[in-house]
Chain A
Amino acid sequence: DTGVSQDPRHKITKRGQNVTFRCDPISEHNRLYWYRQTLGQGPEFLTYFQNEAQLEKSRLLSDRFSAERPKGSFSTLEIQRTEQGDSAMYLCASSSWTGGNTEAFFGQGTRLTVV
């Protein structure tokens, strides 16, 4: 399968703990996005990378959140000192930026539950 891969699929953590999620994009894609989705809502943009550079961050991304994409390949999203409000599906997507085509393909997501 050459689609976007996310790990883990599910994560349950206690409030105050740190968690890290991984995303492996489609291999030839140079853009990688992180979105967050809560029940009954559409995905909300968090941040995106072009190659290894993080080019945009949403104001939703508080200083407890950090994302990296070393060497422009896989990406990690870390949440420090988790809060119950962080419970959501975290979605990763990738696209091949060609100056006009912005079709993004999503992974299956990581479901985070903070107890």
Chain B
Amino acid sequence: EDQVTQSPEALRLQEGESSSLNCSYTVSGLRGLFWYRQDPGKGPEFLFTLYSAGEEKEKERLKATLTKKESFLHITAPKPEDSATYLCAASSRGNNRLAFGKGNQVVVIP
């Protein structure tokens, strides 16, 4: 069964203090690794898809990277509006569902 583990569960950052979120995955043949942002009471908002080890994608202050066992979401010089829960999900070949981790809850303090 596909498994995704995220760490740390919660993170408090000062505005401007860069950090990284970790997503470890165990799947039978990775089809795609996905990052979503979720604000309280709302549905997940799509951020990135990564397909192969070594791939990187960026959007504003966020950068996602992928290895054969992990993905990282780097937050550079975060602002309070980056406060959210970041969800990692994996999809494996032959499987049409996303397996989600529990999320990284990020709070950025002004």
Contacts and interface: CB of A to CB of B under 8 A. Distances in A.
B58 interface: no
A36 to B, nearest CB: 11
Interface stretch (A12-20, A74-82, A97-105): A97-105
A4 B42 CA distance: 12
B90 to A, nearest CB: 10
A102 B32 contact: yes
Contacts, number: 60
Interface residues of B, number: 23
A7 B74 CA distance: 35
B97 A42 contact: no
B102 A103 contact: no
B43 A109 contact: yes
A67 interface: no
